Chains A and B, each alone.
Chain A
Amino acid sequence: MQHQSTFERVLRGVLIALVLVFFMFPIVWILLMSFQTNEQILRIPPSLLFEPTLENYRALITGRLETHAGTLDIRFMQNLWNSLILSVFSVALALVLGVPAAYAFARFRFRLGEDIAFTLLSFRFAPPLLVLLPLTLYFQDLGLSDTYVGLVWVYQLICLPLILWIVRGYFEDMSPDIEHAYRTAGHGWLTTFRRISIPLTAPGIAAAGLLAFIFAWNNFIFALVLASADKQPVTVGALAFVTASGIQYGQIAAAIVLSITPTLALALYAQRYLVEGLSLGAVKG
């Protein structure tokens, strides 16, 4: 690797610091807000000095919000759970469907292959609004409205194209020679795919899966239109703190923090794959 001069190292450090300030400042501010009451947040001018309170988190987690008007029930934990179910199953299904397809597009040249690949990508073009209203009608007939199954299916609009196209890139980057060698040793196609192709592209698959997870997690229009209140994700749930008697910024901030946590945990867990392993240099030699 090239040697860096001191000036370069300092410059690099300064730039990284600037980047961190820009991207982290709002996150830190949201974190701080989550420990404040609304009255503390709405001060003129805004101030960093405050006595931290855990009230926002307590209200979200216990589902009971004490206000001057009485106790309100909130179902934030249920929302969080729904988000988890929807995102996990959507990504899992997208992986099961998308990885073999991605492999097919990367490894084989077949009639209509590129057309099918492009069609699958094009599902990402369809503005959700366009398909949602007709979809409500069909879902009623199919008995899919207000079911997790129906939602997971619709979530494929977000997850599948992403996984397909990213994973395809990794399969293409992987040299076919290793597979050939393994197959020549007398192993069938399926075994080769399972034992060689998937493990070698696992980092890419993990990265694509994580991104798909994030996009699924952040969606809210699908569940809003297609499901009843008990199946709504956190994105809809957090809006419940925008109330007629005021926006509960502290609780929204706490809700954001809580809703980021599972994804962050996943990202940290997958870090090894995500950043380290994403370099397929080892595979390519």
Chain B
Amino acid sequence: MHEREKNRVQAYLDGKLSRRELLRDMSALGASAALTSTLIGLGSTRAFAAGFDAMQHKGTALKLLLNKHPYTDALLANLEAFKAMSGMEVTYDIFPEDVYFDKVTAALSSRSSEYDVFMTGAYMTWTYGPAGWITDLNEWIQDPDKTHPDYNWEDMLPGLRASTAWNGIPGGALGSADAKQWCIPWGYELNNVSYNGPMFEKAGVSPPGNMEELLETCAKLATDLEGVYPIGVRGSRSWATIHPGFLSGYSNFGERDLQVNEDGTLSAAMNTDGSKAFHRDWVKMIQDYGPKNWSTYTWYQVGTDLGAGASAMIFDADILGYFMNGGGNKEAGKISFAPFAANPAAEAPTPNVWVWSLSMSSFSQHQDAAWHFLQWATGVEHGLFGAQTMDFVNPVRQAVWDDDTFRARIDESYPGYLHQHDVSAPGAQIYFTAQPLFFDLTTEWAATLQKMVANEVPVDEGLDMLAESVNSQLADAGLR
């Protein structure tokens, strides 16, 4: 059955055929897109199985807790291949993003053994790890009996490997020698500028390279474009407002959230002169050129506005721009991408990253089998499958970034995307200090920004108050 189709797929996997040619040939053979995906998955999973007892956990049943996300879609499209290869049973629960992390907290804090593997972000592991809900995956990565010789852990982008590893000591450097690997990077996003090409052309501007240029560009866009506001950034009262563009720009000036003192204690660092100057620019940018309803803006509104042509650019996740360049969006096909280093003196951008990762529950009854699954899900083959045929972007592996099929696909439809990524990737990592009060601190930071933008408090005063409050909370938690 499907022999001819299989041959075409094998040719594609061997690099003899481009993705376009494959799809053309397949549809000529009458194969549906779904079948094509499945065959690619099966083919690539065959490669994973060679020279390793793929069936060692045959019959074991795993349950995953997943967020509704394109990465999840890519996983599900390929899951049959894993089941066939491993003989394992895999079921899953998918929850909407809005409530996903509440579900994770509820499930883990009740010490439920229902889920073996779940999706998480690195920030969340700063809670889950110390709480004892997730396991240090180094134990498995370092064990040659349990890890496939071709798993190639070193192939993961180093910034991401480090960003997902923490020694559990408040203020401890991410990726230090004694760090525990709390989760495995799966797909990630870094923050740069995504902009509407035709709008920029109309206003006669080019993508800004730093904060000063950004404000100038915004001013030009504001006068030249009717009914469009220049720049979209998030503003809701949440950690999610601080971590994308804002922290990326902030870090580019060498500013930090917290300072780690000699004796290991922490203190607030957001009321330095440099920080105040950056905050002033940022607040002005929102007041003069940002969305009117800024303080209710989350990922969704920032993206929607770019996709529907209400904003000319965003300084947010690169994949947010990527998503808005497709689908049913009005401006699909018009979005371009550019690297952004806020500090004119900086050599390169320093984007803070969000890493969707996979963690293993401490309460799982089948940890070895769960690791078997994790290897496959974070392996090169599945990464290639997702990046070539679905929206499993950005890949976390160098091997996928080096893949010509993937590069050609991105380059064709997403102008500037590869460039912004390649320029920024070396500096892409988490710039927050890992510590247990992460959410308290960032939420309060966002609330303070909201007060500044609403002119309820001057920038300098607001930051001093924030620093004072953060310091007292740190002291309260025995961290200062």
List the B residue with the shortest CB-CB distance to A69: B391
Q: Check: A191 CB closer than 8 A to any chain B CB.
A: no
Q: Check: A88 CB closer than 8 A to any chain B CB.
A: no
**A43 to B97 alpha-carbon distance, docked (Å):** 25
Q: Check: B227 CB closer than 8 A to any chain A CB.
A: yes
Residues of B close to A38: CB separation below 8 A:
328
In the complex with contacts A37-B328, A70-B34, A224-B99 CB distance below 8 A: yes
Q: Is the CB of A244 within 8 A of B99?
A: no
Segment of A100-108, A131-139, A264-272 engaged in the interface with chain B: A131-139
B106 CB to closest chain A CB, in angstroms?
A: 4
Residues of B close to A245: CB separation below 8 A:
70, 303, 323-324, 326-327, 391
Q: Check: B451 CB closer than 8 A to any chain A CB.
A: no
Residues of A close to B111: CB separation below 8 A:
137, 140
Q: Is the CB of A246 within 8 A of B106?
A: no
**A246 to B69 alpha-carbon distance, docked (Å):** 11
In the complex with contacts A39-B330, A225-B103, A242-B110 CB distance below 8 A: no
Task: Give the size of the chain A interface in residues (CB under 8 angstroms).
Answer: 38
Q: Check: A247 CB closer than 8 A to any chain B CB.
A: yes
List the B residue with the shortest CB-CB distance to A41: B308
Q: Check: B390 CB closer than 8 A to any chain A CB.
A: yes
Q: Is the CB of A69 within 8 A of B73?
A: yes
Q: Check: B77 CB closer than 8 A to any chain A CB.
A: yes
**A220 to B323 alpha-carbon distance, docked (Å):** 29
**A230 to B37 alpha-carbon distance, docked (Å):** 26
List the A residue with the shortest CB-CB distance to B323: A245
List the A residue with the shortest CB-CB distance to B94: A229
Q: Is the CB of A69 within 8 A of B70?
A: yes
Residues of B close to A67: CB separation below 8 A:
327
**Binary contact track B64-101/A, C-beta < 8 Å → 1, others 0:** 00001110010001000000000000001111111100
Q: Is the CB of A239 within 8 A of B98?
A: yes
In the complex with contacts A244-B70, A245-B391, A137-B110 CB distance below 8 A: yes
B312 CB to closest chain A CB, in angstroms?
A: 13
Q: Is the CB of A140 within 8 A of B112?
A: yes
Residues of B close to A224: CB separation below 8 A:
95, 99, 102-103, 106
Q: Is the CB of A240 within 8 A of B96?
A: yes
**Binary contact track B3-44/A, C-beta < 8 Å → 1, others 0:** 000000000000000000000000000000110010000000
Residues of B close to A137: CB separation below 8 A:
110-111
In the complex with contacts A136-B110, A140-B110, A243-B68 CB distance below 8 A: yes
Residues of A close to B97: CB separation below 8 A:
239, 242-244
B295 CB to closest chain A CB, in angstroms?
A: 18
Residues of A close to B330: CB separation below 8 A:
39, 42
Q: Is the CB of A244 within 8 A of B299?
A: yes
Residues of B close to A228: CB separation below 8 A:
93, 114
Q: Is the CB of B109 within 8 A of A246?
A: no
List the A residue with the shortest CB-CB distance to B308: A42
Q: Which of A195-241 contact B (CB under 8 A)?
A: 220, 224-226, 228-230, 232, 236, 239-241
Q: Check: B168 CB closer than 8 A to any chain A CB.
A: no
Q: Check: A44 CB closer than 8 A to any chain B CB.
A: yes
Q: Which 6 A-B pairs have the closest CB atoms?
A: A136-B110, A229-B93, A239-B96, A245-B323, A42-B308, A225-B106
Given contacts A228-B114, A232-B95, A236-B95, 7 further A-B contacts (CB under 8 A): A44-B309, A145-B110, A224-B99, A240-B96, A245-B323, A246-B307, A246-B329
B interface residues with partner A (beta carbon < 8 Å): 33-34, 37, 68-70, 73, 77, 92-99, 102-103, 106, 109-112, 114, 227, 299-300, 303-304, 307-310, 323-324, 326-330, 390-391
Q: List 27 A-B contacts (CB under 8 A).
A: A38-B328, A39-B328, A44-B310, A67-B327, A69-B73, A70-B34, A70-B77, A136-B109, A136-B110, A137-B111, A224-B102, A224-B103, A225-B102, A225-B106, A228-B93, A228-B114, A236-B95, A236-B96, A239-B96, A239-B97, A239-B99, A242-B96, A244-B68, A245-B70, A245-B323, A245-B326, A246-B329
